[in-house]
């Protein structure tokens, strides 16, 4: 058996070298954020870049805490956590129903969900803002949470996972006299648990970074998320890059840690969500 | 007997309907309330002069205005440049990365996925502010590195120069776009039926032939999905522009999405903003349609 593919050819060496260079370029911004956040003004504005802060300072973080950066972080956590919880509940129920229940207009509803997913999200944001103001939710965290929950990706993902539940098991449970709710909690939930995990982590990360929605819905410093807070900070402080990098680090590090911890779930979420779009 | 059976069936169907909709209800409420309703409103108000003070039907005049608006045309052009450059670039590049690593060890392919996903996870705002620093005219890393390498002789004001600003945006957009396509391609390539590849190799097909004749058709659905999501993302490029250039200098980086934001939130022209939004949605629909057509014809 020939294994031409794994042989070391000049092409392979070249592609690994290129991959390495690219990997450096792709990780560099994060490195530059973290190191930058510990640099003093002199190191920040040095004509030749200071590659590593030799005398690190924490003043940037101290100044950041004077803004209510911690409350920005708490707002973000609340939005992500609540959106995650609500999506996991609603999407799991709906995904199961679409996959396993034969109710009227099922196919039609599902295709509307899929079509809405292909629509550019931002196009609906102006009317959404008006609607949110009308409901009296503007400048509350719910203004970001509700539209996030409405987005149909979760339903689509959970439908994919629910397809794998064998109909015979559901039938057997029904014959045993279990009610619908009991079946859902005791049989369905454990079987789609990996899907819920993928959806949870996916929702958390995308809600954390949904800057545009947060920017529109939250206009008071009290309700800022970390992304909006940092964006306003750089509007105001301009070239105070030390402070801005501290903010960027505070926005990025928690979510990067979450991503690294749950990377497998996350990857499964995006691959499952793509099958036969 | 016959009668009771149909009655039973009917009862069963009614039960299925009831239970089905009960499970759908929470999700449908959010979906109808926060996606479908605003979508309908966007369409309706695009035919009005809706603003802070007015709300009257004006027919197609918002749409006509858009096509006479030099700034809109400019932003349309910039948006098309971004899409036409970044979509092929992201697709080809992620395919190349994925095919270079998908046979590697679990560790390597995980590492690659993490590295290329990092800019997305880091978050648009954090990534944008650090690039803004790197692009800075006086304190930026880029001018220093390029000068040391002898590529440029004096500092370039990357974001302040109409000739370079859009390319800076495209560069950052690229780094924040390829993570997902790489993950998708790695899993698609790993799922290609190995017996087909072996059969091809036994028949004497070379590397390129195996790739284009056997693997490429099998990963076509993934390619299509990647084309569509990358197109949508590129069309909606907003945060980068709002944070880096605010559409400037002299509208050189203005995009439709930024233009909508500007008219709706800075000038309170909701009707006009929504009309541009509908045009953007139509444009994306047209692009997606042609991508589907292309993918279909390529498969036959």
**Is the per-residue pLDDT at B53 higher than 80?**
no
Task: Give the structural domain span for A34.
Answer: 4-61
Q: Which residue of B has its CA nearest to A14?
A: B100
Interface test with B, best of A16, A120, A185, A269 (most B CBs within 10 A): A120
Looking at A15, A34, A61, which one is the last position of a domain? Answer: A61
Q: What is the spatial distance between Cα B223 and Cα B217, in angstroms, rounded to a whole number?
A: 10
Residue A49 sits in the same domain as residue A94: no
Q: Quick one: A125 and A82 in the same domain?
A: yes
* Contact in structure between A37 and A230 (CB atoms under 8 Å): no
Cα B241 to Cα B233: distance, rounded to the nearest angstrom: 13
Distances (CA, A) of A163 to A66, A131, A136, B67: 51, 35, 39, 47
- Spans of all domains in chain B: 1-34, 61-299
Beta carbons of A248 and B221 less than 8 Å apart = no
3-state secondary structure of A28: helix
Residue of B14, B30, B93, B105 for testing the chain A interface, max A β-carbons within 10 Å: B30
Q: Is the model's pLDDT at A5 over the cut of 60?
A: no
Average pLDDT, chain A: 86
Number of structural domains in chain A: 2
Tell which CATH architecture fits domain B61-299: Orthogonal Bundle (1.10)
Query: For all residues of chain B together, what is the average pLDDT?
Result: 86
If asked whether residues A219 and A193 sit together in one domain, one would say: yes
pLDDT band at B285 (very low <50, low <70, confident <90, very high): confident
**pLDDT, position A1:** 40
Whether residue A90 sits in one domain with residue A184: yes
User: What is the DSSP secondary-structure string of A96-134?
Assistant: HHHHH---TTHHHHHHHHHHHHHS-GGGGHHHHHHHHHH
Question: Among residues A46, A61, A76, which one ends one of the domains?
Answer: A61
CA distance B24 to B9: 22
- Pair (A116, A185) in one structural domain: yes
> ipTM of this complex > 0.90?
no
A252 and A138, same domain (yes or no):
yes
Indicate if A43 and A158 belong to the same structural domain.
no
For residue A267, give every residue at least 6 positions away whose Cβ sits within 8 Å of its Cβ, in sequence order, or none. Answer: B113, B183, B187
Which domain-ending residue is among A61, A91, A107?
A61
**DSSP reduced 3-state for B47:** coil
DSSP element (H, E) containing A213: helix A211-217
Of A32, A131, A209, the CB nearest to B124: A209
User: Considering the domain boundaries, does residue A277 fall inside one?
Assistant: no
Q: Are residues A21 and A92 in the same domain?
A: no
Residue-level pLDDT at A3: 44
Task: Record the tokens describing residue B43, joined without a space.
Answer: 């369409």
Residue bearing the bigger pLDDT, B207 or B114: B114
Q: What are phi and psi of B48, to 5 degrees?
A: -125, 170
User: Where residue A161 sits, what CATH number does that domain have?
Assistant: 1.10.3720.10
A12 in the same domain as A129 = no
Confidence class for position B42, pLDDT limits 50, 70, 90 = confident
Co-location of A40 and A79 in the same domain = no
Name the phi and psi angles at A35, rounded to 5: -65, -40
Band (pLDDT 50/70/90 cuts) for residue A115 is confident
Instruction: Give pLDDT tens digits for B132-162.
Output: 888 888 778 888 888 888 788 778 888 888 8
Question: Do A101 and A29 share a structural domain?
Answer: no
Q: Is the pLDDT of residue B31 over 90?
A: yes
pLDDT of residue B82 exceeding 90: yes
- Candidates A124, A126, A234; nearest CB to B35: A124
| Mean pLDDT value across residues A122-130 | 85
Do A81 and A202 lie in one domain? The reply is yes
Tell me how many degrees the CA angle B70-B73-B78 measures, rounded to the nearest 5.
Answer: 125
How does DSSP classify residue A188? I
Read off the tokens for A27.
Answer: 């990780």
For residue B155, count other CB atoms closer than 10 A to its CB. 15
Alpha helices in B102-206 (DSSP H): 106-122, 124-135, 141-148, 162-175, 179-190, 194-202
């Amino acid at each position: 058996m020939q294994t031409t593919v794994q042989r070391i050819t000049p092409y392979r060496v070249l592609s690994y070298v290129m991959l390495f260079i690219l990997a450096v370029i792709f990780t560099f911004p994060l490195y530059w954020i973290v190191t930058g956040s510990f640099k003093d003004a002199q190191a920040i504005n040095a004509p030749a870049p200071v590659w590593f802060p030799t005398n690190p300072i924490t003043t940037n973080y101290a100044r950041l805490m004077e803004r209510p950066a911690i409350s920005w972080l708490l707002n973000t956590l609340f939005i992500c956590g609540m959106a995650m919880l609500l999506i996991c509940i609603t999407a799991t129920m709906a995904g199961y129903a679409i996959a396993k229940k034969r109710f009227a207009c099922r196919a039609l509803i599902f295709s509307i969900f899929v079509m809405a997913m292909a629509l550019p999200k931002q196009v609906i944001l102006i009317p959404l803002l008006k609607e949110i103001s009308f409901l009296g939710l503007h400048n509350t965290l719910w203004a970001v949470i509700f539209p996030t929950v409405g987005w149909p990706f979760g339903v689509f993902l959970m439908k994919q996972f629910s397809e794998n539940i064998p109909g015979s098991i559901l039938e057997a449970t029904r014959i045993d006299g279990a009610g619908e709710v009991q079946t859902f909690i005791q049989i369905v939930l454990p079987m789609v648990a990996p899907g819920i995990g993928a959806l949870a982590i996916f929702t958390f990360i995308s809600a954390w970074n949904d800057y545009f929605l947060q920017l529109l819905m939250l206009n008071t410093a009290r309700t800022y998320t970390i992304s909006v807070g940092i964006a306003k900070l750089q509007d105001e402080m301009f070239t105070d890059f030390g402070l801005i990098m501290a903010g960027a680090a505070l926005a990025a590090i928690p979510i990067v840690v979450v991503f690294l911890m749950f990377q497998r779930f996350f990857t499964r979420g995006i691959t499952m969500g793509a099958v036969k779009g | 007997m016959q009668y009771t059976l149909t009655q039973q069936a009917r009862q069963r169907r009614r039960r299925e309907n009831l239970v089905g909709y009960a499970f759908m209800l929470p999700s449908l409420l959010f979906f109808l309330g926060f996606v479908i309703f605003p979508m309908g409103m966007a369409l309706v108000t695009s035919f009005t002069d809706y603003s802070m003070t007015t709300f009257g039907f004006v027919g197609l005049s918002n749409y006509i205005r858009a096509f006479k608006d030099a700034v809109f045309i400019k932003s349309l052009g910039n948006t098309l440049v971004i899409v036409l450059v970044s979509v092929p670039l992201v697709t080809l590049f992620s395919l190349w990365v994925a095919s270079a690593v998908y046979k590697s060890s679990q560790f390597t392919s995980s590492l690659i996925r993490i590295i290329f996903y990092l800019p997305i996870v880091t978050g648009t705002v954090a990534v944008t502010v650090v690039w803004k620093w790197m692009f800075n005219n006086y304190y930026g890393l880029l001018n220093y590195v390029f000068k040391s390498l002898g590529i440029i002789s004096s500092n370039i004001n990357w974001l302040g120069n109409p000739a370079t600003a859009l390319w800076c945006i495209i560069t950052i957009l690229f780094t924040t776009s390829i993570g997902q396509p790489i993950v998708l391609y790695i899993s698609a390539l790993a799922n290609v039926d190995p017996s087909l590849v072996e059969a091809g190799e036994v028949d004497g097909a070379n590397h390129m032939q195996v790739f284009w004749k056997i693997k490429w058709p099998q990963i076509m659905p993934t390619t299509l999905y990647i084309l569509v999501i990358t197109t949508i993302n590129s069309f909606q490029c907003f945060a980068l522009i709002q944070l880096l250039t605010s559409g400037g200098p002299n509208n050189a980086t203005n995009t439709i999405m930024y233009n909508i934001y500007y008219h709706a939130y800075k000038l309170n022209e909701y009707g006009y903003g929504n009309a541009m939004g509908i045009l953007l949605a139509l444009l994306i629909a047209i692009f997606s349609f042609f991508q589907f057509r292309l993918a279909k014809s390529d498969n036959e």
